Chain A
């Protein structure tokens, strides 16, 4: 379908081409010739087409997750021991029982809520600072020369290495954990934004300037949308690193939070809670990354427009 739509667009409408011999333009029926051709062979099963259907994705996705659950069940049910030891690992049913148990009080949900709040705060601050600094550094040489050398020193330090310093630095434990989460997300967002600004074709700046665009509008209408694709790459990577940093910070210095919950479970030898904590972290991370994917699709409607879907 994509191909036929594209082809239709290659043909300039005749209205603007007064002197164009009409013979140049393929007739409409010729352009749409692709549709009947498809209808001719409806029975031929195409494996790769089927894989694109929602049904196929549902079936294969169920097999994928089901396979992991089954392997987990079998390994723990029969307490496999071949170098990797499954003797103490809880079964899926143990974890399911735990889910029911933890939901009888608010302790578990409070922990989840606190972690989500920390990620949201840390990530939001990283977004604002990372994108703003990234645009300034990518666009202005002076700003870059002044700030990059200092930033390059901090960049290789993993967010987790900041834990002791952060505890001393910030007035409360809560703020220091948000700070660690922020640091994790900040550099991926910053670096990708800088890269995105640098990648913008110079001709677009010239085009905008020759249409009378001032600097502030250049930032709003050329730099930001032009760098948006790379910015979203940065947000996606940054969200991942934010979770890594948050969980590590919670495990080391936390009170509350899903990372703290998981580590505490280990101290209390509550194996099912360890698994529950891990699965919860996985699901939360997945939801966050899906949220960013969805936002990026909504924010960049021009991406993928060439596919012919309109």
Chain B
């Protein structure tokens, strides 16, 4: 897991879908970078295309134009060089925890005894060894997601792509998971592209944050998080952290209002007032 590899480069990316109402532009001329060993978050209002962007990097979604490269090589489809952690629990229900973790190694053709040893080592580091023979249905949400992360890391990818991985967890578990992740990243130093709509989560974890606009998704701002490493939960109470939250909140709020405003002006407020547009909402709020 060399810190020299794992450079994601996205240039002028456009992605659109065919929907009933016509073509929907999900991502519009987006250019982002993740440097080797860097933790980068994508944050924005729901429906801003951040998951679409991540799916494109993972190789699940076809792009319309622009370039997507990992270490200079064009991304053509999904592959084991990019580990993915999904928002929904994506463990194979028919495999035990250990078999789930072993799966990527098995696909690489590693011998059974070797991959079993490796999976057990990883599970031990994650504190999950006692659960190696459990099925996913026997685990709590937080544990499932930890197994999901361990599974994504088992094949030693250069990059970890995480699509709102803690979105389905309760806030207690969530903050514990954030700590686990930042500690883990501190040790492994691999490139992470992290999707979230939680501002504090993005600041706590990231070196850099891209704020995306409402559909069509564009990069509105890039924010460098100057907080020292390793990150500790106490940092969330510092004035610097508070200032960062306020900055990003303001950026996102403008975007959310713009998104809601366009819906409102399209008839959501019919009969209330004729001139309630984005500006009107801004005054009311």
Contact = CB atoms under 8 A, between A and B. Distances in A.
B265 interface: no
A interface bracket (residues with beta carbon within 8 Å of B): 35 or more
Interface in B97-141: 103-104, 107-108, 125-128, 130-131, 133-140
Contacts, number: 119
A19 B233 contact: yes
B151 A211 contact: yes
Contact of A211 (B104, B125, B128): B104
Interface of A: 6, 9-20, 24, 201, 203-204, 206-214, 217, 221-222, 225-226, 228, 300-302, 305-306, 308, 310
B interface bracket (residues with beta carbon within 8 Å of A): 35 or more
Interface stretch (B33-41, B78-86, B214-222): B78-86
Contacts of A14: 127
Most interface-central of B131, B139, B146 (chain A CB within 10 A): B139
Contacts of B183: 18-19
Contacts of A306: 135, 137-138
20 contacts: A12-B127, A14-B127, A15-B127, A16-B126, A16-B146, A19-B232, A203-B90, A207-B90, A208-B92, A210-B79, A210-B80, A211-B104, A213-B103, A228-B94, A301-B135, A302-B94, A305-B134, A305-B138, A306-B137, A308-B138
A202 to B, nearest CB: 9
A24 B131 CA distance: 20
Nearest to A16: B127
Contact of A13 (B103, B104, B127, B135): B127
Contacts of B236: none
A203 B179 contact: no
B143 A206 contact: no
Nearest to B88: A203
Given A12-B143, A206-B86, A213 B107 contact: yes
Given A210-B59, A212-B107, 16 more contacts: A9-B140, A11-B140, A16-B146, A18-B179, A204-B90, A207-B86, A209-B59, A209-B77, A210-B79, A210-B82, A210-B152, A212-B108, A212-B155, A302-B135, A302-B137, A305-B137
Contact of B176 (A20, A204, A300): A20
Interface in B155-179: 155, 161, 172-173, 176, 179
Nearest to B94: A225
Contacts of B92: 204, 207-208, 221-222, 225
A43 B100 CA distance: 45
Interface string B69-82: 00000000111101
A67 to B, nearest CB: 39
Contacts of A13: 127-128, 130
